[in-house]
Amino acid sequence: MSPEPYYNSIAFISDIHANIEALEAVLADIEKQKVSAIYCLGDLVGYGPDPQTCLQKIRMLQSAGKIVRMVPGNHDVGIVKKNLTIFNSVARQANEWTIKALQDTPQWVILQELANEKPVQEVGRFILVHSTLNPEPEKWEYLKIKNAAQNFVERKIVFVGHSHIPTLYSKYTAGKDWNPINLFGNEGHYIMPPIKPEALAPGEASTQYRAKLSSFPSMIANVGSVGQPRDYNPCARYLLHITVDYNDYLEYRQAAYDVQKTVEKLKNRGLDCDKELAIRLATGGRSTFSDGAKPPAWFPF
């Protein structure tokens, strides 16, 4: 008699950026994946038009025991401290609006509590941090090939967000037998391949990439962004850690959502930055339509 297989999966979500349509699409897909817990890597708000509903949703998931870990992001902290000097003009303008929209609401307290969570959290062999393991968290460095080496921790997987680009980093480069994933270039990193945006209809989701892990991987995984993807794939993104019997996998998921609906909300908000933010959502991270993408027929600006 063969025993029933053991199965467990954990979802990692990050950079929601007040995009409730994207968040709901990801949560609907997570619901289907038999996830035992959700870990959130920060930047719940900033940029997007729905900070209150996103914070309410997150708090509900915490109260229900579904989101079990949270680390703060630079937008969460900057908004709570009302210190927007680190942001570029687009982010600053949207975040000034976010402060005004939130500060007299019950959701402001939720954001304050998140901003005061520990910025680096360790759970078993997982480490969660929004940007990098730089001991000065307020620097909010971007994890790139050049500083990846300082962010590997032996036999741990470091999960990050912040750049909004789903990327896996391996400590070992191609050609070494140890590397079980065998897809990394000489610099030891791998950015998820983009898909055609029309490949999925709103409400649909799919696996973007699945990697089998060795027993004790030393890896860094950028989980990608739920609410403002920047690798030219407009789908909302997140990452699953899956255990099946003795094997572990990392699976990148992409969930299509009604981008038009979010973009219409930006149009109605009417800030100077909203056209650029709308182009980012429609293209998966471009700042203008001039560099290789056309506005969709519905684009309202």
Specify burial of residue 252 (Cβ count, 10 A radius: 0-12, 13-18, 19+). buried
Dig out the tokens for 47 from the structure.
Answer: 């940029």
Beta carbon nearer to Mn ion, 43 or 50: 43
Q: Fill in the per-residue mask, 24 to 53: x = in contact with Mn ion (CB under 5 A), - = not in contact.
A: -------------------x----------
15 binds Mn ion (CB under 5 A): yes
Residue 130 Cβ, how far from Mn ion at the closest point, in Å?
A: 8
β-sheet bridge partners, residue 38: 11, 67
Per the CB < 8 A criterion, the answer to whether 273 and 94 are in contact is yes
76 binds Mn ion (CB under 5 A): no
Beta carbon nearer to Mn ion, 43 or 231: 43
Q: Of 8-16, 97-105, 233-241, 273-281, which part binds Mn ion (CB under 5 A)?
A: 8-16
How many CB atoms lie under 10 A from the CB of residue 298? 10
Quote the DSSP letter at residue 6.
P
Residue 68 Cβ, how far from Mn ion at the closest point, in Å?
A: 21
276 binds Mn ion (CB under 5 A): no
- Report the Cα–Cα distance between both ends of the chain, in Å, rounded: 63
Interatomic CA distance for residues 50 and 17, integer angstroms? 8
Specify burial of residue 154 (Cβ count, 10 A radius: 0-12, 13-18, 19+). exposed
Residue 32 Cβ, how far from Mn ion at the closest point, in Å?
A: 26
Binding residue count for Mn ion, defined by CB under 5 A: 2
Q: Of 15-23, 26-34, 50-58, 240-248, which part binds Mn ion (CB under 5 A)?
A: 15-23
Name the site residues for Mn ion (rule: CB under 5 A): 15, 43
